[in-house]
A = this chain, B = another copy of it.
Amino acid sequence: MSESKKLLRGRFRKDAARLVKQFTASVDYDRRLYRQDIAGSITHARMLAKQGIITDEEAETITTGLVAIREEIEHGLLEFDSELEDIHMNIEARLAGKIGDVAGKLHTARSRNDQVALDIRLYMKDAISSALHRLRELQTVLVDLAESNREVVMPGYTHLQRAQPVMFAHHLLAYFEMLERDIGRFLDCLKRTDVLPLGSGALAGVPYPVDRTFLAQELGFGHISQNSMDAVSDRDFVVEYQAVTCIVMMHLSRLAEELILWSSAEFAFVEMNDAYATGSSIMPQKKNPDVAELVRGKTGRVYGNLMGILTVMKGLPLTYNRDLQEDKEGFFDTVDTLAVVLDVFNGMLRTMRVFPDRAEQAAKESYALATDFADYLVRKGLPFRQAYTIVGGLVDHAMAEGLGLDEIDISTLRSFSPLFEEDIRRIDTMASVNARNCIGGTASEQVAAQLVRARDIIEGGYVD
Contacts and interface: CB of A to CB of B under 8 A. Distances in A.
Contacts of A176: 227
A100 B7 CA distance: 46
Contact of A236 (B207, B247, B432): B247
B314 A311 contact: yes
Contacts of A378: 108
A228 B165 CA distance: 13
Interface string A95-115: 010000111111110111100
Give the most central of A106, A201, A240: most B CB within 10 Å. Answer: A201
Contacts of A70: none
A94 interface: no
> Interface residue tally of chain A, by bracket?
35 or more
| Residue of A170, A346, A440 contacting most chain B CB atoms (<10 Å) | A440
A166 B204 contact: yes
Nearest to A203: B156
A435 interface: yes
A307 interface: yes
Nearest to A293: B322
A41 B299 CA distance: 32
Copies of this protein, total: 4
Contact of A24 (B107, B160, B256, B290): B290
Interface stretch (A30-38, A120-128, A262-270): A262-270
Given A17-B275, A111-B282, A286-B159, A22 B319 contact: no
Contact of A304 (B23, B307, B324): B307
Nearest to A305: B304
Interface stretch (A71-79, A361-369, A418-426): A361-369
B282 A107 contact: yes
Interface string A165-181: 11000110111111001
B13 A347 contact: yes
B440 A384 contact: no
B310 A300 contact: yes
Interface centre among A173, A205, A320, A325 (most CB of B within 10 A): A205
Given A159-B289, A395-B285, A104 B384 contact: yes
**Which residue, of A166, A184, A288, A384, has the highest number of chain B Cβ atoms within 10 A?**
A384
Contacts of A442: 204-205, 228-229
Given A16-B351, A158-B280, A321-B158, A315 B288 contact: no
A315 B317 contact: no
A280 B103 contact: no
A296 interface: yes
A365 to B, nearest CB: 8
Nearest to A180: B226
B340 A23 contact: yes
Nearest to A259: B317
Contacts of A260: 159-160
Interface in A318-367: 318-326, 329-330, 340-341, 343-344, 346-347, 350-351, 362, 365-367
5 contacts: A101-B383, A161-B287, A164-B202, A299-B311, A304-B311
Q: Which 10 A-B pairs rank lowest in CB-CB distance, beginning with the nearest?
A: A205-B441, A304-B308, A297-B323, A104-B383, A104-B385, A205-B436, A207-B435, A293-B322, A300-B311, A159-B288
